[in-house]
Every structure is written in C-alpha cells, then in structure tokens.
Amino acid sequence: MARKKKDIVLENILIEDYAAEGKSLAKVDGKVIFVEQAVPGDVVDVRLIKNKKDWAEGFPIRYVSYSEERVTPFCSHFGVCGGCQWQMLPYKKQLKYKQKQAADNLERIAKVQLPEIQPIIGAATTQYYRNKIEYTFGTEAFVPKDEFVKLKATDTPNGATSDLAAGFHARGFWSKVVDIQKCYLQKEPTNELRLAIKDFAKENDYSFYNLRSHQGFLRTLLVRLCETGEWMANIMLGHDDKVKREALLDFILQRFPDITSLLYTINTKQNDSIYDLKPEIYYGKGYVIEKLDEFQFKIGPKSFFQTNTQQATRLYQVTRDFAELTGKEVLYDLYCGTGSIGIFCSKEAGLVIGVELIEEAIEDAKQNAMLNGLQNKTQFYAGDVIDICTEKFFTQHGHPDVIITDPPRAGMHGVLIEKINEIAAPVVVYVSCNPATQARDLALLNKKYEVTKVQPVDMFPHTLHIENVVQLKLRK
C-alpha cells in the first residue's frame, strides 16, 4: 500500500467479481473494495475515493494485467461517453453478470423464498437497438487525457475541453460533451442527421449551448426511429430566432426528405426537460407510429415508450404470460404510462384499467386504445395510484383479478404496497428496471404474497441496466 498526498493507493489488486451498478469487486484483508472501470480478472492499482471501516470505493490508476475475459470495444468513444459501460465484455459474459445481479438482489435484499430464477432473455440485436436517443450540443468538447497528451497540451488528470461538440455528456462531467462521430446505439440516419446539423450550424455561425452560462441557440436533438419506418426529430433551441430556425429546419427537410415528423421546442430554462414545454410541429403529423407485436402505438416527442422495441416485445410477452389471463379477468395496470403493457395484455383480459400520474401519458393511452380498437376493453385514469385505488373505485370499476405494476427506478410507494396487500388480487406481476428496489418491495409484499416466477430480461446490451419480471401469487 502506497500513500501520496494523503491518497490511498492499493497495489496489485485482483478484481474478483461484479457488484451492483456495474462496479467490480475486490477484497483486501477481508475488506470489500468496489472498483469502477474494471473487469473480473484484471489486476490493478486502485486509488480510493471513499474509505470506510468495512468497505471502500476507488478507480484504477494502472492496469497491471488485463483479464482474459476482455474483448476490444467496437466503439471509438468507449470509456469516455456515458452510453455503454460494458463493451469490453463479451455479450455472454454481460448476460451472466446481469443474471447474477438480479439473483443477488433478490436473495440479499428481499430475503424471501424464491423459485428457480429463469435464465436471462438476451437480445438478438446488440447494436443499433434503441428507438430513441437524445444528443447534446455544447461549447465544451471533452478531450480524453491521452488525446490531450498527443496534442502536447497541458496534462490534466481527467481530460480537458475545447471547441464545439454534438454528442453525449462525458461520463462524470456535467458541462462537457463528447463529440460523437459514430454511435452504435441507434440505426441511421441518426449519426448522419446529428453530423449534418452540426456542420450546418458551424458553417452558418449558429451558437451551441453553453451549460455553464446557459447561453446559446442549439441545445439538444431527440431522434425516434420506429420499426414501422416512421421517424421523428425534435430540436431544442435555447431561444427563438425565426430566420435561423426556419433555415435549419428547411435544411433538414431537404437533406432528409423521408423524415415523417420534424418538430422544434423553445427552451429558455436552465434544464433540458420538456415535460412543461410545448414542442411545435414544423413538418408532418407531430408523432410516429410504432408496433409491438400486433399492436400499434402513437408516440409523441414527450411520450414515454420502451426504448428497445424488439426487447420490449419480449418483456411484455413475459409479463402477459405471468399474468395467466383467461379472457375474463379485470386487470389493473399501475404506473401504466401510455398504456403499452395493458394494451399488449388486453386481448387475453376481460377489462384493463390503467392508472398513471402524468395526465399527458393517460391521454396517449386513450388514443393508443382507440388506435387498436380497444376503447371498450380499456379504461385509463390520471392520478396517483394511492389516491385512485380506493375501495369505492374498486366497487365502481371492478375488483382486480390481476395487478401489473411497472414503477420507476425508485420502486413503489410504501402506501401502495400496503394497498396491494389489502386488495389481495390473486396474481401480481411486478416489472422492474431496478432489481434492488424491486427486492425491497417484494420483502413487504411477502406479508400476503409468495414469489412464484422470476424472469430477467436484458433491454440494454453493453450497459449495466437490467429489467426483471416477478410473478407473485396470494398465499393460500
């Protein structure tokens, strides 16, 4: 162990395993060390950034030797942009560690009796799988340290900034943007569009947005590509300039004549969220149509929709199978969003009732039901589930035979969990994008329910994220 400027550096540390959130794990004299940017089998020197009695966190400052599990990342921006964390692992190994992550969370946090966990469902397509991407235009292009050295610039620990950039935020740097040349997450014309807008802006002296001063014209670009062939672009601008705006949008239409919806959004706020803004339609109908299995979904610039269409179909098939519908059940779809899960399950249910906090999502859900001719089999309500799901509501709309819940990463509210225990629907299907909070909630549902099936699904290859579907049945 070496010390320098009060920093603690652990030398020749063998990385033994993966832990949660993509961190790797080592043990030194019985103490657990969580390490970023390492692979099981690596031997590294680690600088600690947190040092507690029983555990510590750190990052490699030198790779003594590399793991035999490593493969060469296919993206030139790997390790700098925050998009893909696991490209250095073969996909089969990624699946192995994701399966382990789901199992570890359920066993360690939920501490309930579990059935055999089914093998994770991997993706048939591991590149160009996203239907939605958002790029950032910035004035501080991130330059990695090794590139900085090549330029004979002043050496800095974490890289430096220069020039304009169009791409993703640099990992760990809120104000710096990685200037992406080619991203493998979404099919073309995503890269062609981003680069064309960047070149046009530079040639015509359009300003890029400065994340520190909150000044500049070009802010972000959202691109949605659908399996139906329809695609949309929404450009966020820091202020309105009709001449510049129309020149840019006309250029896009000329260069990309097959675009089906082109929108712009004026955002003078200091954050990029558009939930409280109004995207304006410049060309097309302002939305796109996507298909999951036999069902169609209308997706606007503000709509939430699963970002991997192919894997979403598989995720929803698992969810529908776990619901064990016979055609007669009253199905409650909690946190229903735009109604995609409920609609996907609707033909096997008697009635689908969806509840979602965001009113605009509920309006989308109603339109999606109409689009599929399901308005007589579905009902959607806006509001907090803990306020809507009262005994009076159940008396009026029907007591649930099956509950599907798909909460955000934070999991379900404790009041809702108690409500589900009170409702005592025979079957609950819990879809989660965070197995840790799912496991916490399962421990509370254990009061009335037993876990009967578990199925992990990989929605995002080359990242640490994982979806997990759990079937629960009322204890007899």
Give the amino acid at 226: C
SS (H, E, C) 80-122: CECCCCCCCCCHHHHHHHHHHHHHHHHHHHHCCCCCCCCCCEC
Distance CA 202, CA 196 (A): 10
What Rg, from alpha-carbon coordinates, does the chain have? 24
Distance CA 247, CA 427 (A): 56
Query: What separation, in Å, do the N-terminal and C-terminal C-alpha atoms of the chain show?
Result: 57
For the packed helices 414-423 and 435-445, what is the interaxial angle rounded to 10 degrees?
Answer: 50
Element containing residue 280 per DSSP (H, E): strand 280-284
Distance CA 153, CA 146 (A): 10
Distance CA 360, CA 372 (A): 19
From 226, 336, 389, 433, active-site residue: 433
Distance CA 414, CA 422 (A): 12
**DSSP code string of 311-373:** HHHHHHHHHHHHHT--S--EEEEET-TTSHHHHHHGGGSSEEEEEES-HHHHHHHHHHHHHTT
**DSSP code string of 400-434:** -SEEEE---TT---HHHHHHHHHH--SEEEEEES-
Residue 433 designated active-site: yes
Give the tokens for residue 400.
């649930």
Q: For residue 239, how many C-alpha atoms fall within 13 Å in the half-sphere facing its CB? A: 10
The residue behind tokens 């996507």 is 290
Using alpha carbons, list the distances in angstroms from residue 372 to 85, 337, 344, 367.
38, 16, 10, 9
Distance CA 16, CA 18 (A): 7
Give the amino acid at 374: L
Q: For residue 306, how many C-alpha atoms fall within 13 Å in the half-sphere facing its CB? A: 30
Catalytic residue positions, numbered: 433
